[in-house]
């Protein structure tokens, strides 16, 4: 998984993430917005503040999240 971009959405207090899977390669990306509760639940580490999150934690969180959920639709780059 490659994290292309991420930021804290202050309006929704969620974490917006653009990423590509190995299957997407360099041609596509996907985007998702996780709530703070989802990040806390699926993160392998204890998260108290989304501003402290890094790409490694995001990758692990997404891996855990997508064990229970479908991947979002692909978008062409």
**Cα–Cα distance, 72 to 77 (Å, whole number):** 15
What pTM was computed for the model? 0.90
28-72 tens-digit pLDDT = 999 999 999 999 999 999 988 888 899 999 999 999 999 999 999
Contacts of 8 (CB under 8 A, 6+ apart): 14, 15, 16, 50, 51
Of 37, 3, 38, nearest to 17 by C-alpha is 3
């Amino acid at each position: 998984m490659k994290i292309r971009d991420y930021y804290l959405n202050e309006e929704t207090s969620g974490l917006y993430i653009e990423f590509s899977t190995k299957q997407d390669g360099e041609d596509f990306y996907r985007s998702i917005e996780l709530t703070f509760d989802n990040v806390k639940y699926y993160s392998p580490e204890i998260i108290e503040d989304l501003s402290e999150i890094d790409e490694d934690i995001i990758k692990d969180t997404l891996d855990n999240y997508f064990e229970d959920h479908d991947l979002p639709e692909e978008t062409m780059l």
